Amino acid sequence: MPGTATSVRIRLGNEIRAARQAAGMTQVEIAELLGCKQGKINKIEDGTVAVKPADLDVMLDAYKVGAAAAELMRDLAASGDRRGEWTGYRSAVPTWFRTFTNLEQAASEIFAWHGERINGALQSEHYMLTQFRAAGNTNVTELMRNRRDRKRVFDLHPPPSHRFILGEGVFLRMPGGPNPGVALDQVQYLIDMIERYPDVSIHILPFEARLPYIPNDFTIMRFTDGTTNCAFIEHVAGMQKIDNEVSFKKFVDAWDQLRGPALERNQTLDFLRDQAARFAEQLDA
């Protein structure tokens, strides 16, 4: 699908880029061979657009790719990835988020940090509904269905290994303002997630944690299928994907720095149960 990268297409782009670099050619040179602009080659290598079979053949010939590697690339180009097809209610998801969601399904490990809001994959339905309504969304039904679809990643066989760090502030800043009902539902949902899914770890970063600074929200993804490891930064206009090896390591270091003072599993469960009791008292008051 134009404009949306899928895990298979990204892997193919990585293979094409590696072959070009091994051949000592530039994107401009291969663009001249194909009779297109350099920007198209960049998008093919990023996985943003699909490569036509005829164009792939020209690339493989120019890069003098061996038979086995060429067969792999042709198989990747032919197979595509149906997770990239976003039609019907799924089309309500912004284009910039589709690459993230596609890769989320293919990752072997996912590490996420959120300081003042609940990670989308961990949101209870009450929290989601309140958030979408508070934001003035008119397509709440479609957004809710998409968010439920995203949660299916936890039931994959095998599922990615998920590690979440949540700042203590996420329980004080509910969508739309203080709401003990939403907060209680969300906390109970997190307790259920921890108890139900052995491959999901949730760690609370308490306010008293001694850190030099708190980074922006980010997600790290690692892969075993040849896809390049990457990190995503969330911001008000969307997301930025980072797969440069040096920059990626900085996110891993930032994660390790946050993980050190964060609560362990049993401590997190105790913390969440205390929060549930506090919000229940507020509802009864």
List of residues 6+ apart from 152 with CB closer than 8 A: none
Question: Mean pLDDT, to the nearest integer, of 239-244?
Answer: 90
pLDDT at 99: 80
Q: Which amino acid is at 88?
A: G
pLDDT at 226: 76
Q: Is 60 exceeded by the pLDDT of residue 84? A: no
Burial of 122 (0-12, 13-18, 19+ CB in 10 A): buried
Least confident of 75-84, 141-150, 257-266: 75-84
**Residue 95 CB neighbours (<10 A):** 13
Residue listed under structure tokens 């198989």? 75
- DSSP sequence for 8-46: HHHHHHHHHHHHHHHHT--HHHHHHHHTS-HHHHHHHHH
Averaged pLDDT of the chain: 89
91-133 pLDDT, tens digit per residue, is: 667 777 878 887 888 889 999 999 999 999 999 999 999 999 9
pLDDT at 88: 67
171-223 pLDDT, tens digit per residue, is: 999 999 999 999 999 999 999 999 999 999 999 999 999 999 999 999 999 99
Categorize the per-residue pLDDT at 5 as very low, low, confident or very high, splitting at 50, 70 and 90: low
Q: Which domains are present in the chain?
A: 7-84 (1.10.260.40), 92-284 (3.30.870)
pLDDT at 85: 57
Question: Mean pLDDT, to the nearest integer, of 8-37?
Answer: 91
pLDDT at 67: 86
Q: Which amino acid is at 166?
A: L
Counting every residue, how long is the chain?
285
- DSSP sequence for 134-181: HTT-S-HHHHHHHHHHHGGGGGSSSPPEEEEEEEGGGGT--TTS--HH
Residue listed under structure tokens 């094409």? 16
Burial of 58 (0-12, 13-18, 19+ CB in 10 A): middle
What 3-state class would DSSP assign to 71?
helix
Query: 102: closest CA among 120, 81, 121?
Result: 81
What 3-state class would DSSP assign to 201?
strand
Burial of 219 (0-12, 13-18, 19+ CB in 10 A): buried
Categorize the per-residue pLDDT at 1 as very low, low, confident or very high, splitting at 50, 70 and 90: very low
Q: How far apart are CA 125 and CA 128, in angstroms?
A: 5
